[in-house]
Structure 1
């Protein structure tokens, strides 16, 4: 990691100097058009715009995620949040408002929920998502929420307080 950015955003120029990928001067950026690199950089910037609050209860630490905008849009952004919480707060217990997660997460046929939650499980993460689920009519989603809440890694609850309780019991 150089310049404060993960290496995937850095590109080698013809003269071997490093570029952040958003210029139009180097050959690599001209070929890439800067578009994919700029999209990746924007996702990274979204993760930076969030705040994390450390909460400790029953000798367990949780990271509460706050932001003015959606911060989980794909598996990589979800993993970035998990790793940032681990680095900054020292925990893999994530508490997040459902408003900060892309709506596609709650449409199970997109596969987004499965991809994200599989990443969390693979990396030892636990997540409690709080918010109002009453407007969802999908039986598969309701079943998914019910089954998740019976486990110990993924929870869907109404309030932030309940989310913290689920991760610290």
Structure 2
């Protein structure tokens, strides 16, 4: 399945294919942002597509990617199980907790949870 724009809970979402290219650079994130300009408000990226550096906050890669989405006024949803990363980093746990309390970057276990979040902010 290619990355596709779908309406989910009344919101246009670019749902990224788990088998798609990995996001290993800021340019890769910008490519997703460009694809979202087909009408999406949210980009749902499988956690498996994110480079391991995204989950190691010392690399600053997550901050750079998240900032790009904020700059372009798009929401980013990281979709999937990140429990092993959370177990290894209290800083990441804090980031996920704070992000999930806000409106721009969410970490959700699956697309159903993303739908619930979208309905809650509608």
Q: TM-score range by the shorter chain?
A: 0.7 to 0.9
Runs of 4+ with >6 A deviation: none
Unaligned runs of 5+ in 1: 1-49
Query: How much does 1:92 deviate?
Result: 3.2
1:53 alignment counterpart = 4
How many residue pairs end up in the alignment?
Answer: 118
Give the corresponding residue for 1:73.
Answer: 24
Partner of 2:63: 114
Name the CA distance, whole Å, in 2 between partners of 1:161 and 1:51. 19
**1:8-45, Cα deviation, whole Å (9 max, x unpaired):** xxxxxxxxxxxxxxxxxxxxxxxxxxxxxxxxxxxxxx
Counterpart for residue 98 of structure 2: 147
Name the structure 2 match of 1:32.
none
1:25: which partner in 2? none
The correspondence of residues 1-169 of structure 1 with structure 2, limited to 5 A, is: 51-87=2-38, 90-136=39-85, 137-168=88-119, 169=121
Larger radius of gyration: 1
Normalising by structure 2, we get a TM-score of 0.87
Q: Residues 166 and 140 from structure 1, CA distance in 2 versus in 1: closer, same or farther, beyond 3 angstroms?
A: same
Is the Cα–Cα contact under 8 Å of residues 9 and 118 in structure 2 kept in the other structure? no
- With normalisation by structure 1, the TM-score equals 0.64
RCO (CA 8 Å, sep 6+): is it higher in 1 or 2? 2
Q: How far has the Cα of 1:167 moved from its partner? A: 3.7
Structure 1 vs Structure 2 CA RMSD: 1.7
